[in-house]
Amino acid sequence: MGDSYTVFNGRLSFSALDERWGVSIWGRNLGDEEYFNFWADGRETLGYVYSHVAAPRTYGVELAYRF
């Protein structure tokens, strides 16, 4: 805990000239960095440390149609 890290996210989108439809590709945590997005030290009161590891690299495609 305490080490610095950098997380890169990205999104690339394209839409038609009339903006009725579009497509996007996106990615989060592109460097697949391992880090905690929550950490609580409850050793003195509860007897344990609670931590939550952030999501690994995720990516996807979105399609949109506006009517």
pLDDT in tens, 15-67: 999 999 999 999 999 999 999 888 888 888 888 888 889 999 999 999 999 99
Q: Let me know if residue 51 belongs to a domain.
A: yes
Angle, alpha carbons 1-34-49 (nearest 5°) = 40
Q: Is residue 5 part of a domain?
A: no
57 domain-assigned:
yes
* Residue 38 lies inside a defined structural domain of this protein: yes
**Residue 42's domain spans which residues?**
10-65
Instruction: Judge whether residue 1 has pLDDT over 60.
Output: no
What is the Cα–Cα distance from 12 to 27, expressed in whole angstroms?
9
4 located within any domain: no
The answer to whether the beta carbons of residues 22 and 13 sit under 8 Å apart is yes
Residue 65, pLDDT score: 97
Q: Residue 1 domain-assigned?
A: no
For the CA atoms of 53, 58, 63, 67, the dihedral, rounded to the nearest 10 degrees, stands at 10
Number of domains, the chain: 1
